[in-house]
Each structure stands twice: as structure tokens, then as C-alpha cells.
Chains A and B, each alone.
Chain A
Amino acid sequence: MATPVTDRSPAVARPPAGERHDAAARRRRRAEQWQAWAFAAPVVLYLGAFYAYPLYRNLDLSLRSYTVRSFVHGGAPFTGLDNYRTVVADPTFWPALTRTVVFTVVCLAFQFAIGMALALFFRQHFPLSATLRALFLVPWLLPLIVSASSWSWMLNSESGVVNAGLRALGAGQVNWLTDPRWALVSVIVANIWIGIPFNLVVLYSGLQAVPPEVHEAAELDGASGWQRFRWVTFPLLRPVSAITILLGLVYTLKVFDIIWIMTRGGPADASTTLATWSYRLGFGSLVPRFGPGAAVGNLLIVIALACGLMYIRVQRGQQR
């Protein structure tokens, strides 16, 4: 399409063909941009309405003094960082933070080690290998309330199958879920069980990418099974291992269902982590403390995001 100026003065005139082409290409590119964003727009709006806004409300909650009344009718006074101060000064805070770290680190270590051992085992070819590997996914697919109920009953003090087994071996009764010394151990064991399939599947697919020739070469050189793993497989698997652990870290930090359903964070806070504490403050009692609950939640977000950014850095680094 010619502009009015070029119409009137043909001598100055028609832009060279190339330039016209450029203009058309620019217009097309702009139209394509609009189309591209039209396809992405619903998700952008969605992220705003269902992520950003609830998170903003959560931040707002943590900066005000809310009561049930003000929650419904509005008018909660702005109190700045008071809720955060309250939370950090609370005798529950440091133990809960420590327990969150212990829970996360112990779960990750065992899930990863067991997942790795199983991945190596299932890489060997034997009849039923693929079917059994698929069955290992079951714990990961079950609703958490189902797994948690099953573990609760298995760990029941008098009637649980675990204590029955211990009795048969001559050991005394352990009050898994009601003894403060054992409650955290119990939820850790259940959570490791749930996390094994994820580690197995991801590490197994990582192993598939290791060329078998590397192994055969090491075997010809006389390396033992453990040496082959230590010096060949494991280093080659390091990128996948890093991703598995970091993603596990992000998942494990936010574990709530298992702990809440099995012990509700008890007895006497013995299995309270930041996630269950946040829930208990906000929803778990007759007098909800929304402000402090939101403050604990936001602290947990900061920790989770720090780990998340680490994950993204490692992943980006690997793609390069």
C-alpha cells in the first residue's frame, strides 16, 4: 500500500522494492506477534487471577492483623512485619525449621540412594523387568490420603503389622505415631516410600542415555561392578542426578498431606514442619491466626523459590 506522499511525488517516489518488502514483513511479524499472544493470553490471564492474585492476598494477609471478623467484613489494620516477628519469636519456629531441614535432607538422601540402586537393578535385562518397574510407580500414583492411611494403620501401636513383626523378632513395642521420639521418623519413612518411584523413573531414564559401549569398555579393562558405577556411570549421570535431587528438594519442602494425615504435626509438635505449622495456624484450630499462618507460608515460599532458582540454574547450565 502506497503512502499519500509517494502518490503525489513520483520522482522522490516509490520506496525500493526491498524496503516495501521490509514494511510488509514487519507488518506480518507484528500480526504474528498478536496471534502468538492471543494463543498465550488465556494462560497469562489465568496466572494473574489464580497465582498472582492469591499470592498477593497471602502477602497482604501476612502484613495485617486479621481476626475472623475482619476476615469477613474487612478492615484489618496494617501491622507491617509484626506477624513475621511473632512467628520468628514463637518457640515453634526454630524447631519447625530444623525439622523441615531434617525431613527434607533425610528423605532426599534415602529416596535418591534407593531410587538409584533400583534404577541400576532394573536396567539389567531379565523377564518381567518392565512390568515390575511399572508396578513401582503405584505408590507415587496413589492419593496421598490413601498412602498415609495405610501407613497409619501399619504403624499403629497395638494392632499395627510393623509392631507385630517387631514382636515376632523379639523387640518391644514402639509407639511410632504417638511417641515424640518416633513421630518424625515415621512420617519420613512413609514419605521416602512415596518418593522412591519418582527417583527410580527419572534416574532410569538417565541411565538409558548412557551408551552401553562405555560400560563394555570399562568391563574389558577389568573394572568391577562397583568401580564401573563409581568411576563411569555415576559421573555420566551427574547432570540427571542434580536435577532429580533439586526437584525432589522442591517437592519435599512442601510436603504437607502425609504429615498432617499421619500425625497432624504431633505429638507435642514432634513432627511439625513449616508447611504443617502454617496450615495449623491458618486452618487447624477454632481460633484461626491467618496473619501468622500466611507469614510462615511466605517464609516457606522464599525457601522453596531459592531452591527452585537453583534448579533452574542447573538445568539451564546443562542445556548449554
Chain B
Amino acid sequence: MRKAWKTAAGLALTAVMLFPVYWLINVSFTKDTDMRADPPHLFPSDGTLEGYRAVLDQQLPYLGTSLLVGFGTVAVTLALAAPAGYALAKLRPRGGGVLGFVLLIAQMIPGIIMAMGFYAVYLRAGLLNSVAGLILADSTIAVPFGVLIFAAFMAGIPDELIHAALIDGASRWRTFVSVVLPVSRNAIVTVSVFAFLWAWSDFVFAATLDGGGAHQPITLGIYHYIGNNNQQWNAIMATAVVASIPATLLLILAQRYVAAGVTAGAVKD
């Protein structure tokens, strides 16, 4: 009986916490004419799919760009972070401590300041308004985190496993690819999940480095929508709902890795 009460309290707390998310979904189905109803309709009864139709009509290219940027960022992050994490965890390079320290510091630099520096660099390099430039900029959010996660995870791989491969005559690289990487699957998933989510949600770099490009990510799609068109809130909210799908999917599919990633960043170093 007491447990049932706790579950009820838990449900109530969750409902309060998720109300803004529910409201987003509710408004995305609300008809324009009901948008300013007083009191607002609490359920999308007599709702409309207009908003979602608008998404399909106008936002698909933005979603495509975001997918591209997301996967590109994951690729760049994994390619850079996994070998470096292995080096820090197992190969003990002299000066490795300094590198770890720099990576920790790198995570603390505000994105908006990085953006300004990137703008100055990209302007000269001709990378403004390009998907590649956005991928590189977005990867700066995930790479230091990725190296530290890989290092923390790979430190737990038994040395015997690595030595056995080396004694069998495999090169360091070969050992890394065919022994270390396969057993690091959890770390790979965790880093990929976060790299993708951060790139997908990035607004600062998109707004500063890709504001005038032909291929803009969905965060800018929503932002322009709010700016140009603050009447059609169902379409804005429908776009927001669609833009949240990756986060929702990842939460369902990779729940354990997400929670692990949040705590690993804070507690383990």
C-alpha cells in the first residue's frame, strides 16, 4: 500500500516535470483558431495535423542537414577520441597528465566564445556556411568529453588481454582495432549518443557559422520559424516535436548509456 502511494507521488512529480513537453505536443496539434482560446484547450481534442503538414513541406531539408551534421560529428569525435583515450589509459605517454588537464579545461570554455573565434578563422578559410565547417565546430563540444570517457573506460580493460595480443605478434594499432575497440563498445555507444545529441541540438555554432548557408540545421529552422512567423505556433511546435525525436529515440534505446554519460562526466573524470 505504501509503495502504491509512492508510485502515485512519483507519477505526479513526473507529470509536473514533463508538463512543458506535454504542452509542446498539445500545442503542435492545436488549430490556429483555438491557439488563443481562453482557457487554453488542455487536450488536442478536435486537433489538426496542419502543423505536421507544414513540417513536411518546409522543414525536411533542415532535418536532413541536421542528420548529416550529427553523423559527421559522431564520426569525427570517435576517430579522434578513441585512440587518444587508449593512449591516455594504457600507453601512458609522458605528459599525458597535462593532456588530460587541457581536455578538462577545454570543456569549460563557453561555446559562445568559441563561436566568435571560429567565425574569425572560418571567414578567412572560407568555411562559413558549410556543413563541414559546422561538423568541425560541433565536434569541439564532444571531443574532450569523448577522450575522457574512453580513457576512463579503457583503463578498466585488463592489461593481460592487450599483452596477449601483442605477444601473438599483433602491432599496437592492430591490437587497438581488433582487441581494444571491440571490448569498448559501451564507451563507443555513450560517446556517440552524446556527440550526436549535442551536434543535433547545437544552436550557437549554427547561428554564428551557418546563418546564411544553403544547408542549415533544424535548430535554425525552428529559430527562423519563430522569427518570421509567430502566428503559426502549431507549426513551430510540430517542428520542435519532430526535432526532439532523436533525443526520445536515444533515451528509449540507450537509456543506460545516457545516464552513464551524465554521471561519468561529473564523477569519474
Contacts and interface: CB of A to CB of B under 8 A. Distances in A.
A305 interface: yes
Interface in B10-46: 10-11, 13-14, 17-18, 20-21, 23-24, 27, 35-40
A139 interface: yes
Interface in A111-138: 118, 121-122, 124-129, 132, 134-138
Nearest to A149: B240
A159 B40 contact: yes
Contacts of B269: 315, 319
B96 A36 contact: yes
B21 A126 contact: no
Interface stretch (A46-54, A79-87, A215-223): A46-54
Contacts of A154: 20, 23
Contacts of B84: 39-40, 42-43
Interface stretch (A15-23, A88-96, A240-248): A240-248
B179 interface: no
Contact of B112 (A35, A72, A198, A256): A256
B110 A254 contact: yes
Contacts of A138: 18, 21, 247-248, 251
A134 B259 contact: yes
**A32, A141, A247 — most chain B CB neighbours (10 Å):** A141
A205 B263 contact: yes
Interface string A268-294: 000000010011001100000010011
**B7, B113, B172 — most chain A CB neighbours (10 Å):** B113
Given A135-B18, A164-B38, A149 B237 contact: yes
A194 to B, nearest CB: 10
Contacts of B4: 126-127
B203 A145 contact: yes
B108 interface: yes
B147 interface: yes
Contact of A145 (B140, B201, B262, B263): B201
A5 interface: no
A304 B120 contact: no
Contacts of A56: 117
A298 interface: yes
A14 interface: no
A137 B260 CA distance: 12
B40 A161 contact: yes
B239 to A, nearest CB: 9
Interface stretch (B51-59, B75-83, B181-189): B75-83
Interface in B222-268: 222-223, 226, 233, 236-237, 240, 243-244, 247-248, 250-251, 255, 258-259, 262-263, 265-267
B107 to A, nearest CB: 8
A159 B36 contact: yes
A116 to B, nearest CB: 14
A193 interface: yes
B71 interface: no
B10 A126 contact: yes
Q: Which 8 A-B pairs have the closest CB atoms?
A: A54-B117, A254-B110, A36-B91, A143-B201, A36-B93, A39-B87, A308-B108, A126-B6
